[in-house]
Amino acid sequence: MVSHPPYSVVLTYSEENQALTVQSVDPAEVAPLVAGKIKMPILLDEHDFKIDDEFARRLGVAMLNVIALGQPDIRQYMSVTQDPVDRS
């Protein structure tokens, strides 16, 4: 198995290309760029340490919502459920 170093992930929306780009970055290189910026921790214990489909869906929606704060044109492409999906 190939061993990888730890990664931070950067998600960028390009209005010009109408594309989302995901990049893996060395956390040490990102640290100075994010110092003093708003943090939104997602505590795994609040989700019973379950990184499942619903967790991933909500994380993705949250990331898109943050992008849309600064680039509201992306909202025209978004048709996502903001609240947790009731699976009962």
The pLDDT of residue 88 is 65
State yes or no: pLDDT of 84 exceeds 80. no
Cα–Cα nearest to 81, from 72, 64, 70, 69: 64
pLDDT given at position 82: 84
| Helices within 1-88 (DSSP H only) | 27-34, 53-70
CA separation for the pair 85, 57 (Å, rounded):
9
Is pTM beyond 0.85 here?
Answer: no
Domain ranges of the chain: 8-77
How high is the pLDDT of residue 81?
85
Q: What is the pLDDT of residues 34-78, one digit of tens each?
A: 999 989 899 999 999 999 999 999 999 999 999 999 999 999 999
